[in-house]
Amino acid sequence: MADRREVRTFCRICAASCGIVVTADGEQIVSVRGDSDHPVSQGYTCSKGRALPAMHHHEDRLDDPALAGQAASWDETLDDLAARLRTVVDEHGPDAVAIYRSAGWAFDAAGRYFIDSFARALGTNQIYSSLTLDTPNKLLVADLMTGSPLLLPFPDRENARLVILVGQNPIVSHGHGVMWPNALQELRQIRASGGKVVVVDPRITESAAGADVHVQLLPGTDAALLGHLVREVLARRPDTEFLDAAVDAASLDLLRRCVEPFDAATTAARCGVPLATLAEVVELLVTTPRVATSCGTGVSMSEAPNAAEWLSWALNAVTGSLDRPGGVLFTRGFLRPMESRIASRPRVTGAAATSRPEFSQTWGELPAAVLNDEILSGGVRALLVFGGNPAKVFPDSDKTRAALTSLDVLAVHDVRRTETTDLATHLLAGTGQLERADMPAYVDGTFPIPFTQYGARVVEPAGQRRATWWIVSELGRKMGVRLPEAPNDPLDDDAVLAGAARSGRATFEQIKAAPSGIVADDAPEVGWVVPDRIPRGRLDLAPAELVDQLEAWRDAAPAPPGLALVNRRLPHQMNSLLREVASQQRRPLPTLLVHPQDAAAYHLTDGAGAHVRSRHGETTAMVEISSAMRPGVVSLPHGWSGPDVNQLTSDVDDLDPLTGMPRFSGIAVTLEPVLEPVVAAPA
């Protein structure tokens, strides 16, 4: 017990970045609790954060680098990798090397700096990230309406009197685009103080269960609902003062024409909801001064993701709620103040994908959904994966596996064994989040207040684990790629992190001296963007590309009757992370939620198996009969080996033509009972 200690740091499992106090005894992580001095999370942690000790000591953690499946030294692994990458570049050019980055890249400030420097120095156009698998509509719509992809609105939780959450379940997800650690308590507080919460979702989610109004619509019809709400507000109580001050007048006229077809009867039929429910939401909108409308992955992964996101912005604008207290606000940033970042920038930043020329590099990356074809067409010969699991999270799992196994080089950096590390030619064993110091640099622009924190290292790295920045700097040195100078000491994270604070609102020393984080007192006040700092001058309420998409979607034939599958998150799991820990819990497992009526119609029983088939593939899942589902809609979580929701999706069909976002939700499926018993859902 001599070395028992408490260390303040922050959780890097999801973007909420909750402040935590970790108790360690020697090299043993004993427990995690919330840091009550943390100004954003205020002592909150979820079950995932509290599972950090189990995650840290799990047998699937990687201790050593490996070459062709055999443990090796760093020199052996990186010498071989450098030589093979150099050969690929010399023979086929830099675009033959692709780089895919995910959570392990995003939540590692020092590592990210070196990875992105490496990509730039290599000169490859083949840059990818998981951002294009769940969020690209948010950046696109922000850019088209304001002129900056970085202006992401978030509900003013402190002052909101009416919150409308569309396809978003923050009690489990903890936010989408902007962090929301303790959504359960904050939504309760809004209601306790007389405010109202509306949740729009085909399932009675954890957030919908506590809402004042639950609009349980058909999957993928959010754009119709939002179009109707905008139409009614424009007819009954537009905030003309706000619109006169901030909005391009011609775009307001066009918006009015775009939403006109969404009358109550048409919308109720399209969304499959009672007229009375629509009227209840409209009444709240016309009697509440401001609204905070926000969309989640239920929108971005479904039909018409851009149109729905646009109309949620439009609803906030026509009610005068955009960048106003009680409505939605814009973050201000700390390490990279947003005032200096929101200038207009070109959307297309690089060449088109050679196998899918309809998609070009946008804001520094190509859509992840085209990577399989870039590999299988022979253009990409080597792939470096940083902290991600494409074998499990890309659409069309079989095709992804075929693509990954066809590569000359698949180098994977991770902290634990995954479906992707199992295929690696070179395995790069990284330090876990408790083995390195860090700062929340990637999510800097998503804190609701201008805040940052220095998260201290809790324990020394075990085995041969190394910090990402060290691995990449060594690889660059061996390849002769010019990178920023790295410290000599592989444990000196601070020397790299200090660079991340260089343009911040405080010095690195000041940040480090505040173990629960620091809030800037010199950031601009709420309302800093609208109307004076809108990059394009005035808001465009009807961007042409979105108008075209809405009209095409509105006029398309509705989906034929049948079952639709929607995606969901689990409280104990984060994408494909934490499955091994979650599977030790009694519930929730990755079950297929089926309404009792559908279970009877398809002869399914609780705890037994079901074959789930789409036009793209099939998987098998354990049935959980649940009246939380809307009849005709079933739900599976993503990121599990079995059942595999990605097996049901395509990386060619149903891609959004503007962003390349694949459809992961609202997929037409059929069900058939499995005759043999399903004992447990595997991780």
Among 21, 40, 46, 661, binds ligand SF4 (CB under 6 A): 46
- Taking the least distance from each CB to ligand SF4, the nearer of 17 and 205 is 17
Q: Which of 13, 271, 301, 318 binds ligand SF4 (CB under 6 A)?
A: 13
**Does 22 contact ligand SF4 by CB under 6 A?**
no
Nearer to ligand SF4, 22 or 623 (CB): 22
With respect to ligand SF4, which residue has the nearer C-beta, 446 or 468?
446
> Closest distance between ligand SF4 and the C-beta of residue 8, in Å?
14
Nearest residue (CB) to ligand SF4, 49 versus 195: 49
The Cα–Cα gap between 442 and 335 comes to: 10
AA identity, residue 339: E
Q: Please identify, using beta-carbon distances, which residue of 221 and 573 lies nearer to ligand SF4.
A: 573
Strands 97-101 and 127-129: parallel
Supply the minimum distance, in Å, between the C-beta of residue 593 and ligand SF4. 23
Residue 303: which region, alpha, beta or left (left: phi > 0; alpha: psi -120 to 50)? beta
For residue 37, the Cα-to-chain-centroid distance in whole angstroms is 27
- Point out which residues pair with 128 in neighbouring strands: 100
Beta-bridged to residue 619, according to DSSP, are: 612
Q: DSSP assignment of 472-538, as one string? A: HHHHHHHHT-------SSTT-HHHHHHHHTTTSSS-HHHHHT-TT-EE-SSSPPTT-STTTT-TTSS
| Stretch of residues binding ligand SF4 (CB under 6 A), selected from 41-49, 336-344, 393-401, 487-495 | 41-49
Candidate list 9, 45, 125, 446; residue touching ligand SF4; CB under 6 A: 45
18 binds ligand SF4 (CB under 6 A): yes
Alpha-carbon span 347 to 365, nearest angstrom: 10
Q: How far is the CB of 44 from ligand SF4 (least distance, A)?
A: 7
Between 16 and 550, name the residue whose CB sits nearer to ligand SF4.
Answer: 16
Q: Which stretch binds ligand SF4 (CB under 6 A): 8-16, 163-171, 197-205, 561-569?
A: 8-16
Nearer residue to ligand SF4 within complex by CB, 45 or 148: 45
* Shortest reach from residue 676's CB to ligand SF4, in Å: 36
Which range in 46-54, 356-364, 424-432, 628-636 contacts ligand SF4 by CB under 6 A? Answer: 46-54
Sole binder of ligand SF4 in the list 8, 9, 11, 298 (CB under 6 A): 11
- Which residue's CB comes closest to ligand SF4? 49
Nearer to ligand SF4, 570 or 612 (CB): 570
Exactly one of 181, 202, 543, 617 binds ligand SF4 (CB under 6 A); that residue is 181
Q: Which stretch binds ligand SF4 (CB under 6 A): 9-17, 95-103, 197-205, 375-383?
A: 9-17
DSSP strand pairing (153-155 vs 162-166): unpaired
CB of 570 to ligand SF4, least distance (A): 12
Please give the Cα distance from 213 to 211 (Å, whole number): 5
Q: Interface with ligand SF4 by CB under 6 A: which range of 45-53, 187-195, 389-397, 648-656?
A: 45-53
Q: Does 387 bind ligand SF4 (CB under 6 A)?
A: no
How far is Cα 599 from Cα 615, in angstroms, rounded to an integer?
Answer: 21
Burial 296-322 (b: 16+ CB within 10 A, else e): bbbbbbbbbbbbbbbbbbbbbbbbbbb
Distance of CA 565 to the CA centre of its chain: 20
Residue 174 sits in the site that holds ligand SF4 (CB under 6 A): yes
Binding part of the chain for ligand SF4, among 44-52, 403-411, 489-497, 553-561 by CB under 6 A, reads: 44-52
Hey, is 419 helix, strand or coil?
coil
What span, in angstroms and rounded, lies between the C-alpha atoms of 147 and 535?
A: 5
48 binds ligand SF4, rule: CB under 6 A: yes
Beta bridge partner(s), residue 155: 328
Q: Which of 9, 14, 146, 334 binds ligand SF4 (CB under 6 A)?
A: 14
CB of 173 to ligand SF4, least distance (A): 9
Residue 17 makes contact with ligand SF4 by CB under 6 A: yes
Of 45 and 420, the one with the shorter C-beta distance to ligand SF4 is: 45
| Nearer to ligand SF4 among residue 15 and residue 625 (C-beta) | 15
* Residue type (1 letter), 263: D
Residue 411 and residue 382 in contact, taking contact as beta carbons nearer than 8 Å: yes
Q: What is the distance between the alpha carbons of residues 628 and 321, in angstroms, rounded to a whole number?
A: 32
The reply to whether 49 sits near ligand SF4 by the rule CB under 6 A is yes
Residue ranges in 226-265 that form contacts with ligand SF4 under rule CB under 6 A: none
Kindly give the interhelix angle for 275-287 and 222-236, rounded to the nearest 10 degrees.
Answer: 50
**Is 16 a residue that touches ligand SF4 (CB under 6 A)?**
yes
Question: Which listed range, 11-19, 400-408, 594-602, 610-618, lies at the site for ligand SF4 (CB under 6 A)?
Answer: 11-19
* Alpha-carbon radius of gyration of the chain: 24
Helix (H) or strand (E) holding 672: strand 667-673
Min separation Cβ 468 and ligand SF4, Å: 19
Structure tokens at 76: 């052996």
Beta carbon nearer to ligand SF4, 16 or 82: 16
Q: Which amino acid is at 239?
A: D
Rounded to whole angstroms, the Cα distance separating 272 from 322 reads 29
Number of residues that bind ligand SF4 (CB under 6 A): 12
Task: Give the single-character DSSP code of 280.
Answer: H
Site track 608-637 with ligand SF4 (rule: CB under 6 A), x = hit:
------------------------------
Q: Which are the contacts of 532, defined by CB distance < 8 A and separation ≥ 6?
A: none
How far apart are CB 46 and ligand SF4 at their closest, in Å? 3
DSSP letter (8 states) at residue 385: E
Strand partners, 629: 203
Task: Between 170 and 219, name the residue whose CB sits nearer to ligand SF4.
Answer: 170
Please give the structure tokens belonging to residue 598. 């559908």
Token pair, residue 476, equals: 């660059």
Q: How far apart are the first and last CA of the chain?
A: 35
Interface contacts to ligand SF4, rule CB under 6 A:
11, 13-14, 16-18, 45-46, 48-49, 174, 181
